[in-house]
Amino acid sequence: MADTDADGFEVIGVTPATVLKGGTLSAGGGLLLQVRSAIQRLGDGQVLEVQSAEPAVKEELAAWSRLTGNQMLADLDAGDHTRYFIRKGASGVPREKPDWGIKLPRRPGGRLDMRDWFVGRLGDVPEEAPAYLGFVPRGAVREPGMPEFPYTLNRRPEVWADNIADLYEQATAQQWNASTDIAWDSLPRLPDDVERAVCQVMTFLAENEYAALYIPSRFLPRINAQYTEVVLFLATVINDEARHIEAFTKRAVANGGGLQYSASLTEWSLHSLLVQEDYFQSSFLLHVLGEGTFLDLLDFLARFAPDPVTADVVRRARQDEGRHVAYGIAHVREQLRADPTKSEALVTAAEERSAVLQATTGANPMVMEALAIISGGGSLPEQMARGVEAVRALFNDMHEYRVRRMLQLGLDEATAQKISRLHTPNFM
């Protein structure tokens, strides 16, 4: 049996290669710096003894050792101080190291672009991400023993789109302010019938925008934070939709009109979109079909707007929607490419939603009338007749472009036609 050593070495059976006297230094106040440089000078398997009179360093040295792949062997009470024994690189787990020395390129004008950050550990977007990675920024070195987060979307294809970094950069560059970027001052007084029609359409648009805001908000916390770019992009979508609600509501009240009627069809339609639990099906219904159809509606409104202010509002919203649709198309297309049988889930989603909506009134007469008044230029019979024609053409365009977007996804013509005909008469 070994002699009982007053120093207690035999208790742990090691002899430290170096002793570091830490005094009362706190971990963050200089002790870790010294520990790090002392460990660097040791060979693998050698032991560093750290002496410290500061009680709080016990947990901190243990955490530091776990993070850096070293092993805290023991701590011994030595009266006025504690002795900690740390073995270099012997924790059993391969030592991970944070990145160092990877400098991102600058784009013209000194831009630092998300598209260029796919290098080193940060650039390694995992196919699958464990839920215990929580909020650990992708690329950081984590300490073991972290809690599981309530993510349900933990695989890259479930959320990813190959253009996601481009879309994020566009989104941040194209933000606008609905208070100051619109020339509200120059909104002219309109004939009552036209103003009322604009207010009715703005009411309808704002109502739909709530769905566009709530749906990505529901899914965002389910997405594993390792898919940073998707999470950040959805945050811009949510901000866009908030601004759309704001801008459409402001336009409704700006000229003394006010918010008009909400139809039950709209609420049933948006409700059926909101309760969709599957992100793939939801992305398709919202971003490809719903917002895609809205692109054509907003285009129509920009073309026939009775004043430049209304035109500006819908044009700006349309530019934002273009990004949301682009994400939806890229995301759904990638999934279909990986697994073409997933197209059945899209047909099912459209069929199920259509069945729910069959039970409701299939029309939104106030909105249809308002669109006809706006595009006809007024409510005289000949104006209305022109307007009704224009709305009919809009419906044809909406159908045609919906089909075209679905062909971009890789769906066949017959399936695209079928789904487009099942699409909600509410547009979204």
Which pair of structure tokens corresponds to residue 147? 């809690």
Q: Closest approach of Cβ 308 to Fe ion, in Å?
A: 21
Q: Write the binding mask 136 to 175 for Fe ion: x where contact by CB under 5 A, - elsewhere.
A: ----------------------------------------
| Span near Fe ion by CB under 5 A; candidates 124-132, 183-191, 288-296, 368-376 | 288-296
Gap between the Cα atoms of 372 and 364, Å rounded? 13
Q: Specify the amino acid at residue 323.
A: R
Compare residues 321 and 369 and give the one whose CB is closer to Fe ion: 321
Pick between residue 75 and residue 321 the one whose CB is nearest to Fe ion. Answer: 321
Edge to edge, the sheet with strand 71-77 lists 18-21, 47-52, 82-87, 71-77
Kindly state whether residue 244 participates in binding Fe ion, applying the rule CB under 5 A: yes
Are 60 and 30 in contact by the 8 Å Cβ rule? The answer is no
Question: Does 299 engage in binding with Fe ion (CB under 5 A)?
Answer: no
Nearer to Fe ion, 313 or 350 (CB): 313
Stretch that binds Fe ion, among 80-88, 284-292, 360-368, 399-407 (CB under 5 A): 284-292
Nearer to Fe ion, 236 or 420 (CB): 236
Nearer to Fe ion by Cβ, of 229 and 241: the residue is: 241
What is the rounded CA–CA span in Å between residue 383 and residue 375?
8
- The rounded distance, in Å, linking the Cα atoms of 69 and 80 is 29
Q: How far is the CB of 297 from Fe ion (least distance, A)?
A: 11
- The nearest distance, CB 321 to Fe ion, in angstroms, is 5
**Residue 206, class by beta-carbon neighbours within 10 Å (0-12 exposed, 13-18 middle, 19+ buried)?**
buried
Nearest-approach distance from CB 407 to Fe ion, in angstroms: 21
Q: Which two tokens stand for residue 33?
A: 């710096």
Sign of the four-CA dihedral 372, 374, 378, 383: negative
For Fe ion, what does the binding mask look like between residues 180 and 209, x meaning CB under 5 A?
-----------------------------x
- All residues at 6 or more sequence positions from 211 whose CB lies less than 8 Å from its CB, including other chains: 270, 273, 274, 286, 290, 428
Tokens encoding 335: 């999934």
Handedness of CA 308, 309, 312, 314 (dihedral sign): negative
User: Tokens 């006010």, residue?
Assistant: 258
Token readout for 77 is 């009470």
Question: Residue 332 CB, nearest distance to Fe ion (Å)?
Answer: 15
CA 87 to chain centre: 42
CA distance 25 to 53: 8
State which residue, 39 or 212, has the beta carbon closest to Fe ion.
212
> Minimum CB separation from Fe ion for residue 317, in Å?
6
Question: In the set 83, 243, 251, 324, which binds Fe ion (CB under 5 A)?
Answer: 324
In the complex with Fe ion, the residue whose CB is nearer, 51 or 170, is 170
Q: Please select the residue that binds Fe ion; options are 38, 171, 201, 212, rule is CB under 5 A.
A: 212
Count of residues touching Fe ion (by CB under 5 A): 7
Distance, in Å, from the CA atom of 95 to the CA atom of 207, rounded to the nearest integer, reads 53
Of positions 291, 296, 299, 312, contacts Fe ion by CB under 5 A: 291
Q: Which stretch binds Fe ion (CB under 5 A): 107-115, 250-258, 316-324, 411-419?
A: 316-324
Q: Which residues bind Fe ion (CB under 5 A)?
A: 209, 212, 241, 244, 291, 321, 324
